[in-house]
Amino acid sequence: MTSPFRKPAPTPGENAFDIERYLDGVAAFFGGTANVIMQLSTLPVGYGVLESTVDSGKVMLHPIKRLRTTLTYLAVAMLGTDDERDVYREAVNLSHHSVKSTAASPVKYNAFDPALQLWVAACLYWGARDLYERMHGRMHDADAEAFYRYGSRLGTTLQMRPEMWPADLAAFDEYWTEHLAKTTIDPPIRDYFDDLIDLKMLPRAVRLPFARFQRFVVTGLLPEHLRDQMGMTWTADDDRKLARIMHTTGSITARMPKQVRMFPINAYLWDMRIRRRFGLRLV
């Protein structure tokens, strides 16, 4: 079995692209909540989460476990071997098995729907690109295309078929524009988002120092029409302030050793490998 501290050999066809150059662990904390809002603003995804009976996966009940599961998925999808992706897919599938709509649900949904998984993967990819460029500047065209192609792993690590991923960046941008315009936030989902943004799942002593900054960052990273549906305001001064924060953070992380810059994404991959070695639950 692969050592948890050794980088696996690249999958054939990926030899020329080093994804680790583009991973900043801090980006997951900056962009995580805004990305969740984008994902869940497609109503079948939103109600799938809101109505889920899998209590162990609910962020409002088990925030630390949910953080581990989410970041481990990202780590395995982007850095794991094909075998590790297969194993983690099976573990996630067990949790997703009961996530499907009932007769009382406002919309129909199924966690195994590849089209919904495509949307979630698109949000994850778009968020990763957006945060990288806010922190480090625009990618060169060839790097941007390679990063985009690699991003398909965010969906194929579940049931999204490879051919569903738009063929290139131009095709993706068309898909993104079309589907983002259809997103909407129902009142029950808005209430859920507000609790998530305000860190209501955390103890008061932890929540108070960070909730205001969290709301500021989430507001700035959301697409404008979702920001409006959340009743949020954003000014040109706010935008400049966020840009300074992102640029400064990127300047700092760019000087860090790679393994430090990638933390905690790499740490969650190591954790998954250790859990697997000792037969512990992965999800």
Tell me how far apart the alpha carbons of residues 32 and 122 are, in angstroms, rounded to a whole number: 14
Tell me how far apart the alpha carbons of residues 9 and 14 are, in angstroms, rounded to a whole number: 10
Residues 195 and 60 sit within 8 Å (Cβ to Cβ): yes
204 contact partners, CB below 8 Å, separation of at least 6: none
DSSP 213-255: HHHHHHHHHS-HHHHHHTT----HHHHHHHHHHHHHHHHHHTT
pLDDT of residue 2: 44
Tell me how far apart the alpha carbons of residues 180 and 198 are, in angstroms, rounded to a whole number: 24
C-beta neighbour count of 168 within 10 angstroms? 11
pLDDT of residue 217: 98
Residue owning tokens 């859920």: 192
pLDDT of residue 133: 97
pLDDT of residue 12: 44
pLDDT in tens, the chain (283 residues): 444 444 444 444 444 689 999 999 999 999 999 999 999 999 999 999 999 988 888 899 999 999 999 999 999 999 999 999 999 999 999 989 989 999 999 999 999 999 999 999 999 999 999 999 999 999 999 999 999 999 999 999 999 999 999 999 999 999 999 999 999 999 999 999 999 999 999 999 989 999 999 999 999 999 999 999 999 999 999 999 999 999 999 999 999 999 999 999 999 999 999 999 999 999 9
pLDDT of residue 53: 87
Tell me how far apart the alpha carbons of residues 206 and 262 are, in angstroms, rounded to a whole number: 24
Kindly report the pTM of this predicted structure.
0.92
pLDDT of residue 57: 82
pLDDT of residue 6: 47
pLDDT of residue 16: 64
C-beta neighbour count of 8 within 10 angstroms? 15
C-beta neighbour count of 161 within 10 angstroms? 12
Give me the residues paired with residue 110 across strands. 100
